[in-house]
Structure 1
Amino acid sequence: MVDHHIDQSASRSGVTSASDVAQSNQNEALPLDVDPSLTDAAAVAEALGVDPNTGLSSDEAKRRLEQFGPNELAGAPPVPKWKKFLQQFQDPLVYLLLAATVISVIAWFIERANAVPGAEGGEALPFDAIVIVLILIVNAVLGYIQEARAEQAVEALAQMTAPQTSVLRDGKVVRINTSEVVPGDVIVLGEGDSVSADGRLFAAASLRIAEASLTGESVPVGKKPDTLAEAKALGDRSNMIFNGTSVTQGTGRAIVTGTGMNTQVGKIADMLSATEDEKTPLQKEMDYVSKILGIAVCVIAVIVLAALALLEGFNDIHDVIDSLLLAVSLAVAAVPEGLAAILTVVLALGVQRMAMHNAIVKKLHSVETLGSASVICSDKTGTLTRNEMTIERVVTPSGEVEITGTGYTPEGKMVGADGSSLADQPALKSEALATLGVGALANDGDLRQENGKWEIVGDPTEVSLIVAARKTHADKAYAQFQRVAEVPFTSERKRMSIIAKDNAEGGSLTVFSKGAPDVLLGYCSRIAVGDAVRPLTDGDRQDILATVERLSSEAYRTLGQAYRPLGVANLSEVPGIKSNAAGQISDIAEQSDAIETDLIWTGMVGIIDPPRTEVRDSVAEAHRAGIRAVMITGDHPLTAARIASDLGIIEKDGKALTGDQLDQLTDEAALDKATSEVSVYARVAPEHKLKIVESLQRQNNIVAMTGDGVNDAPAVKTADIGVAMGITGTEVTKQSAKMILADDNFSTIVAAVREGRVIFDNIRKFLRYLLSSNVGEVFTVFFGVVFAGFLGITQPETQGVTVPLLATQLLWINLLTDAAPALAMGVDPQTEDVMNRKPRKLTDRVIDASMWGDIIYIGLIMAVVTLIGMDMHLAGGLFTDRSVDALGHDAQMVEARTMGFTILVFAQLFNAVASRSHLQSAFVGLFSNKWLWGAIGLSIVLQLVVIYVPFLNSAFGTTPLSALAWVECIGLAAIVLIASELRKIVLRAMAKR
């Protein structure tokens, strides 16, 4: 196998091993007190105690990580746990409740002060104040726990999406988290990589790095390992790499000289202002809803207090205190305290579920966008197909051969197109071997066997050439060649070339090239037929292009191969190559015209990448969900159309639009018309992806766009849902994306959209439940005060207002029914129709008019049944005229409040069952959510505790209920479910019409 790695012989002398330094500098800083850009790379390596050919050992890297710390910029210090807990009390509602506590304590003191000595009456302790404080503490604990869980989920997500770096450890290239890079590490750079630390280059091939983030220079900077003669500005240090920049072209290796705060970025970190996490659109809407509810309640409270003052007047301090407690009760009833925490937890849990299915969503708020996707633009290779590139055909001037075997296991052989032996066709055999040998040489991929399994390194298309060469032993025929220079592949050039010296022929140089056949053919003037080379004729060109069309129509991707002996042993002797006075050659990639000329065509290969079997079903599911699937590929139009047809993206006679045709659509209207109709794009460059995304977005589509290369990053970042490939994607693309596919599979995108819709549906479910329940509490307090005379909610011995439910009871209801049932609804199983409806528009409100109808309707029903239940146990009521029993008005009011308190709790539990769907009956999949029933059971047990534990009776103003009273409670509460079902029947009937 030919060694395709960068030649590192220049830095192999005078290097101290890492183990030597580990012993001598166990607890000391590494000795690098010189400017690395002015120091020879070998001297830098020696100073940092690393062999550039093997890198650090794992043990030494671990020691240095402990010594120097993680490769991270210093951030804001973590917030102590006690501060996080106290932050739970930083809420206007809590301030209001604390004010209520003070008022309750004052009222208790006044009552105790005015009590007649020796007489019974009054409370021994201010139970209202104590209970409010206890519930506030419990609420804060629950909020703290929920936030901690959400932070853990986000932290786990950050670990999944943590940037990675290729480094040389123990003589092998491995991928590690960027935070684990240490001084002295050897970083291996490739196109699309993010530079994770400052370092001194010691090898580079056509390396260009974008340093705009550090220097402001928009044009990528060419990099070379040569030692600088004098100190230069940051942007001119061509032999240095810097943290936070990105590789746009070429390859290289560098020794890390600085990590974390010791990098150039770290030196200016103090000028970087920390930004707070932006609230999600959902959280913003919830804040808005809470604000509206709060304002509405304040207005209602003012109106009620004003009416009471005018009609009854405030006779003493008790009336004022009771009125203020009424206002507090309305506020407590209105706002679901744990809404923000529940929302964050539900989103975090949903994101974790996606991660388990290979879709890693980097930001929680992206879940909302996912459920709204209307177009998914996807690469073909690896996403719609298996990405197991296999060469099946080799076409040369003398004919065509087949290569047996599939996948990356190098087991197979070369036979004739009809399966016959090639023993009697020596010319065809030698041409095929030459074609495969050239492809294996002009290659940056590698094939390794690890633990009995073949693993690929690099681009799958390149590796397929290596696999085919090993199957046919073509690699052995070219083993004497050693690479000395490279003109790398770019999406614009569509070809790559290397210059290699033949060690068996006195070191003479040869150019080996591969690329798109139609492109590479333009640089060829000769053709190899058997052992002879002759001029390439127009007829030859037409035959080759016709073969490309034929193979493309059969879904093969084609790659052409060519070569040219240079006839010299030194690059400086090649005609057209420029060098300076010292004989040094500038970047060879910039002199491709002198290299890639007068090439000799050897043949082409046909590469097949079979479609993923599961993708066809996923495409069909996307279409059912109103989501359009679009294929964007650099392949031949016929290949793209064939694969797209097989997957159901287009009909069999569907056509593909090429990049050249897109360039001709200079008018926006024409481009938008084309993108609204065409679902397959072929022979496109990365800039075309951006045009397609922007065009689709102008048509009000929510666009998901996949990408892997560095040039895909602009389109991925511009898309509403940028999707990076987790396996083949570059670090730059992963950082630009909102979601990463761990398996590079299109079906995973569709599954993520489905999960996004489920999460959004569940959010709407618990919002419908929470808000309707809290509105029910507000209506209960408001109408209980307004219609107190009709309902008998009065205390004849006292003047002023009598609230139907105490503030502590309302707090208990919120604590009991808001947290567990709402969280359980957040993990409700998906409904059957989740992928049978059109995508939601981002402009659609989370709480729309129909939901507000549900909320107000259910809230009114709750208030009515609660007040009816209280009325049935009060003297002078509207529905009953119960006489005052021996215990008097106060005991009767306690019993009535206990009834209303319990009815409201059970009404909200029935509402939890009813709120799982706007239209579907609650009895469909009634027991599918075990968590919800567990939450309901827990709430019932806790409510029984409040009613039947004596000391809690005093705290919450309750009394034990009789069996008949329980029948009344459950019967009245069940009306909420019945009323909801009746409304759904009417709505379904209206929907059908």
Structure 2
Amino acid sequence: MDDRIIDPSALSNESHVEPEDAQESREVKAQEALLHDVDPSLVDADRVATALDVDPRTGLSAAEAKRRLEKFGPNELASAPPVPKWKKFLQQFQDPLVYLLLAATAISLVAWIIEKVNAAPGAEGGEVLPFDAIVIVLILIVNAILGYMQEAKAEEAVNALSEMTAPTSNVLRDGRVERINTTDIVPGDILVLGEGDTVPADGRLLAAASLRIAEASLTGESVPVSKRPATLETAKALGDRANMVFNGTSVTQGTGRAIVTGTGMNTQVGKIADLLQSTDDEATPLQKEMNHVSKILGIAVCIIAVVVLLALAILEGFHSVHDVIDSLLLAVSLAVAAVPEGLAAILTVVLALGVQRMAAHHAIVKKLHSVETLGSASVICSDKTGTLTRNEMTVERIVVPSGEVELTGSGYAPEGDMVSLDGAAVPEDIANEVLATLGAGLLANDGELREGDKPGTWEVVGDPTEVSLVVAARKTHADKKYEHFQRVAEIPFTSERKRMSVIARNATDAGKLTVFAKGAPDVLLSYCDRIYVNGAVRKLTEGDRQDILATVERLSREAYRTLGEAYRPLDTDSLAQIPGIRTNSTGEIPDISEQADVIEAHLIWNGMVGIIDPPRTEVRDAVSEAHRAGIRTVMITGDHPLTAARIASDLGIIAKDGKALTGDELDAMDEPQLDKATSEVSVYARVAPEHKLKIVESLQRQGNIVAMTGDGVNDAPAVKAADIGVAMGITGTEVTKQSAKMILADDNFSTIVAAVREGRGIFDNIRKFLRYLLSSNVGEVFTVFFGVVFAGWLGIKNPASVGVTVPLLATQLLWINLLTDAAPALAMGVDPMTEDVMDRKPRKLTDRVIDGAMWGDIVYIGIIMAAVTLIGMDMHLSGGLFTDRSVSAMGHDAQMVEARTMGFTILVFAQLFNALASRSHLQSAFVGLFSNKWLWGAIGLSVVLQLFVIYVPFLNTAFGTTPLPPMAWLECIGLAFFVLLASEIRKIFLRMRAKK
């Protein structure tokens, strides 16, 4: 293929010759003509294919598709340009707390300037540099860097998930149907459309079989539109272009192929897209609650600050500008102490990391906040095929009018033999009937079996049940016997029809047409009036019908899924000449699927196959684990009730004598009866997709949090309505995947239970670091508040001085938050799950993340933390409740520096001990003490950084610290340990009360 994509003359009715360079120069104009100016619905499909230089039988080559992708760009709508990195960094400063800290910086700077100006000539004039202001600015910058890095990590995780959940589409390339990312589709690609697919680009239909497409998203038409490839005679509105398919619409029925004429912004959707519109990510429920908590803390701190300032003004008065500045710095210190600056970023990172872990285990959660809901699931409604079972459908039994045979071999490898149930050779008449049955199943089939890249491996394309029929035909060589039949028309399978029919041309019999059909035996049997037995066709009697139905019931009890096969010779080589077929004025058939009543009448019964899909061995354990966690498992299937009950009992969903409820029985119930039934019954059989929605809504009315799996397009309403919609990653349609909150990459029920377990673990970890962060920050607030209120008693205030003396500096509080908030909290966010995570009942969505018990922990630990900090400071100050032997020789200013260093260090260590205590509300911190290596690494890092602040001279000046003697370290660690000890004592009492 040369570099020209479009022949300029291809769209014209005139033939002319022009030089090669002239053709090359007009290439872009020709592309624009077809892709923008010319309405493809008015152009013959073959001419469109010629213009786009593609063979509809083979599609584009991989190399040509790559070239076109480079030329036309990805198949996606334009979006707002990405936010530059420097803007993202500056956004870290767009926070009310940061504004408050900047105000504190300004106040500190003003105080330093006033001190320098008012200094007497020749005097030192206080600090050489405004260290407070410098340190606050530096810490703000470090905080911004950490926040930026955390958000970048979360964004990277979300982008990775987006790649995993990127929509895919079937296209014909190099003569093979391949599933590729929708963004890689280019003009000229041949789309292969099936029920449940989302149309990925605008295209001109080449072929259609009962194709109906929902175009409400584009045209507003609520009823799906029938599509056919015939060229339109006049231009029509979008909704009436029956030979076109449009990006973003969805296939509700049938199959079709279309040649792509527009991608990305060149589609109809692209033309009407608002390129400037941008939407902000909705805050998760956790983030909303955290914002609420931060506001409560902020309001509380403001009230405390106002009360303290008023008390100081009344009791002591403000005698100078310095007193006012010191009071304002006190208010700022309280605010800094109250609010954990990195909470939102830590929360996002922990959720993103958790969701990434789920994705590694085949559970792709599309929205971070869905993790919350996962941990609350109380009912899991699951399909049977592929989710509870292996989805390795295997034809094991074939029942024909003359007898029954078994087919050996399992899985999709076409290796096996036809044998009698008693082990004897299969008689010729039975063998012929078996071949006729499998031949019908092979032709009425959209499945495909391909040999994999490695020898002995097989690749399944399409529905596994259909592929099992292909495998059975290959095992018995029925595929060779029926290879001269070529399919010319199709009436596709739908969940309502429960059958599929094709019309095939017999190349060895003057092109005569034959109908081949397969479907649910009880349904297909109602369209049969004859039977093929002993090499001849005779009338189907009522006795025959009863025998066939009895066999269906027997096989169903043995857990086989049954499919009936039938056929009918049409004795004509023209579709239009089939007796009863309706044609239009030009002799064409409008839509073959609309005439199923004619085509599927008077069928001849061949026989039926028994298909087994063995339960997954790991599912029984998963069901048991779900039951232990208070989660009920409900199986919903279109299979026979006896088959459903047998599989469900094998998996432990119901007892051995349990029964299944059918769709017909559901239809006969009113709402109260339905609610009573769904509260008791856990297996539903022979249900249509609309019954799934009924079941979900009924369970939700009873207060359940429902997870619902689905794969087909008609499952989408139930999946969307469920609290946790789960789409199948392998067999699921794009419409269902878009409606779901979670995608199972392996279509395995065990993955759902594993995701629930992971969701509970993530939620537990979020509560752990919230307990830790909030109790630590409340401890800082109490330290500042009580340190100011009781400054005289504790020896913090110099009796000879006036104004406010704060126990800890604002820079020290900022350092504590920087040091102990980020690393330990993140480490707690990846804490290993506790053993009892699936031994608890599901959490209700109405339960608060921070409940009364947690607030009790927070306040209790905060008080203990403040108490040990202030006691440690008092021990190094004269005139307090305690007097240390080392303070008598020092002046008050030196004592205060040492006391602040003690309080500063005690508070850091107290929060590190609190990190160990906060891992559980009830369980001792010494259980699994070393199970989280990341937490110990964070603690070690914090200790090392604290040593730098205490022993590096320039950091002493910046943070108002002084080196501590060895004995002081024993005091710091001993007092800080009281936080862990007090927590353990409280947990003992709580455990005792819980047992009672």
Q: 1:21 to 1:245 in 2, by over 3 A?
A: farther
1:135 to 136, 139, 143: 139
2:402 to 398, 412, 422: 398
Inter-partner Cα distance in structure 1 for 2:272 and 2:173: 30
How do 1:299-698 and structure 2 match up within 5 A? 299-422=303-426, 425-451=427-453, 452=455, 453-665=457-669, 667-698=670-701
Inter-partner Cα distance in structure 1 for 2:758 and 2:182: 30
Inter-partner Cα distance in structure 1 for 2:526 and 2:498: 12
Inter-partner Cα distance in structure 2 for 1:273 and 1:811: 39
How do 1:810-821 and structure 2 match up within 5 A? 810-821=813-824
Inter-partner Cα distance in structure 2 for 1:467 and 1:26: 51
How do 1:108-127 and structure 2 match up within 5 A? 108-127=112-131
Structure 1 counterpart of 2:3: none
Contact 1:483–1:498, Cα closer than 8 Å, also in 2: yes
TM-score with structure 1 setting the length: 0.97
Structure 2 counterpart of 1:769: 772
SS at match of 2:588: coil
Q: 1:622 to 1:23 in 2, by over 3 A?
A: farther
1:188 to 185, 192, 198: 192
Inter-partner Cα distance in structure 2 for 1:82 and 1:473: 67
Structure 2 counterpart of 1:57: 61
Contact 1:351–1:361, Cα closer than 8 Å, also in 2: yes
Structure 2 counterpart of 1:3: none
> CA offset at residue 886 of structure 1?
4.4
> CA offset at residue 252 of structure 1?
1.0
Inter-partner Cα distance in structure 2 for 1:133 and 1:683: 68
Inter-partner Cα distance in structure 2 for 1:159 and 1:846: 31
Deviation digits for residues 672-709 of structure 1 (CA, Å, limit 9, x no counterpart)? 10000000000000000000000001111111100000
Structure 2 counterpart of 1:212: 216
TM-score with structure 2 setting the length: 0.96
> CA offset at residue 367 of structure 1?
0.5
> CA offset at residue 883 of structure 1?
8.0
Give the fraction of aligned pairs with identical amino acids, expressed as a percent: 81
Contact 2:79–2:275, Cα closer than 8 Å, also in 1: no
- Say if 2:930 is the partner of 1:889: no
How do 1:259-270 and structure 2 match up within 5 A? 259-270=263-274
Contact 1:777–1:810, Cα closer than 8 Å, also in 2: yes
Inter-partner Cα distance in structure 1 for 2:602 and 2:279: 57
1:225 to 222, 229, 241: 229
Letter in 2 for 1:434: A
1:199 to 196, 203, 208: 203
Structure 2 residue runs without a partner (length 5+)? 1-10
> CA offset at residue 879 of structure 1?
2.1
Inter-partner Cα distance in structure 1 for 2:198 and 2:14: 30
Q: 1:403 to 1:845 in 2, by over 3 A?
A: same
Residue range with higher mean Cα deviation, 426-435 or 652-661: 426-435
Letter in 2 for 1:578: R
Inter-partner Cα distance in structure 1 for 2:136 and 2:21: 64
2:710 to 703, 707, 710: 707
SS at match of 1:270: coil
Q: 1:122 to 1:437 in 2, by over 3 A?
A: same
2:873 to 870, 881, 886: 870
Residue range with higher mean Cα deviation, 559-568 or 334-343: 559-568
Contact 1:361–1:739, Cα closer than 8 Å, also in 2: yes
Contact 1:22–1:60, Cα closer than 8 Å, also in 2: no
Structure 1 counterpart of 2:962: 959
Contact 1:876–1:882, Cα closer than 8 Å, also in 2: no
- Say if 2:259 is the partner of 1:236: no
Structure 2 counterpart of 1:47: 51
- Say if 2:811 is the partner of 1:808: yes
Contact 1:200–1:241, Cα closer than 8 Å, also in 2: yes
RMSD in angstroms over aligned alpha carbons? 1.7
Letter in 1 for 2:766: I
Structure 1 counterpart of 2:829: 826
Structure 1 residue runs without a partner (length 5+)? 1-10
- Say if 2:180 is the partner of 1:176: yes
Inter-partner Cα distance in structure 2 for 1:216 and 1:827: 47
2:937 to 934, 939, 942: 934
Structure 1 counterpart of 2:88: 84
Inter-partner Cα distance in structure 2 for 1:511 and 1:826: 62
Q: 1:892 to 1:588 in 2, by over 3 A?
A: same
> CA offset at residue 121 of structure 1?
4.7
1:720 to 708, 720, 723: 723
> CA offset at residue 28 of structure 1?
3.9
Contact 2:213–2:249, Cα closer than 8 Å, also in 1: yes
- Say if 2:754 is the partner of 1:744: no
Letter in 1 for 2:428: P
Inter-partner Cα distance in structure 2 for 1:823 and 1:234: 53
Deviation digits for residues 295-354 of structure 1 (CA, Å, limit 9, x no counterpart)? 000000000000000110001100000000000000000000000000000000000000
Inter-partner Cα distance in structure 2 for 1:527 and 1:66: 58
Inter-partner Cα distance in structure 1 for 2:24 and 2:66: 16
Letter in 2 for 1:461: T
Inter-partner Cα distance in structure 1 for 2:275 and 2:945: 53
Inter-partner Cα distance in structure 2 for 1:860 and 1:771: 12
> CA offset at residue 170 of structure 1?
1.8
Letter in 1 for 2:879: G
Letter in 2 for 1:124: V
Letter in 1 for 2:170: S
Structure 2 counterpart of 1:900: 903
SS at match of 2:117: helix
Contact 2:211–2:255, Cα closer than 8 Å, also in 1: yes
Inter-partner Cα distance in structure 2 for 1:335 and 1:938: 22
Contact 1:368–1:760, Cα closer than 8 Å, also in 2: yes
Contact 2:213–2:250, Cα closer than 8 Å, also in 1: yes
Letter in 1 for 2:440: V
Contact 1:27–1:67, Cα closer than 8 Å, also in 2: no
Letter in 2 for 1:702: I
> CA offset at residue 58 of structure 1?
1.5
- Say if 2:857 is the partner of 1:854: yes
Structure 1 counterpart of 2:916: 913
Residue range with higher mean Cα deviation, 560-569 or 744-753: 560-569
Contact 2:115–2:125, Cα closer than 8 Å, also in 1: no
Letter in 1 for 2:444: A
Contact 2:649–2:658, Cα closer than 8 Å, also in 1: yes
Inter-partner Cα distance in structure 2 for 1:58 and 1:502: 34
Inter-partner Cα distance in structure 2 for 1:494 and 1:530: 28
Inter-partner Cα distance in structure 1 for 2:152 and 2:343: 15
Structure 1 counterpart of 2:4: none
Structure 1 counterpart of 2:5: none
> CA offset at residue 476 of structure 1?
1.4
Inter-partner Cα distance in structure 2 for 1:543 and 1:778: 82
Deviation digits for residues 549-568 of structure 1 (CA, Å, limit 9, x no counterpart)? 10000000000011111111
Contact 2:876–2:886, Cα closer than 8 Å, also in 1: no
> CA offset at residue 802 of structure 1?
0.3
Residue range with higher mean Cα deviation, 333-342 or 433-442: 433-442
Q: Which runs of at least 4 in structure 1 moved beyond 6 Å after TM superposition? A: 20-23
Structure 2 counterpart of 1:835: 838
Inter-partner Cα distance in structure 1 for 2:189 and 2:467: 27
SS at match of 2:112: helix
Deviation digits for residues 850-886 of structure 1 (CA, Å, limit 9, x no counterpart)? 0000000000000000000000000101122768544
Residue range with higher mean Cα deviation, 28-37 or 679-688: 28-37
Contact 2:80–2:276, Cα closer than 8 Å, also in 1: no
> CA offset at residue 271 of structure 1?
7.5
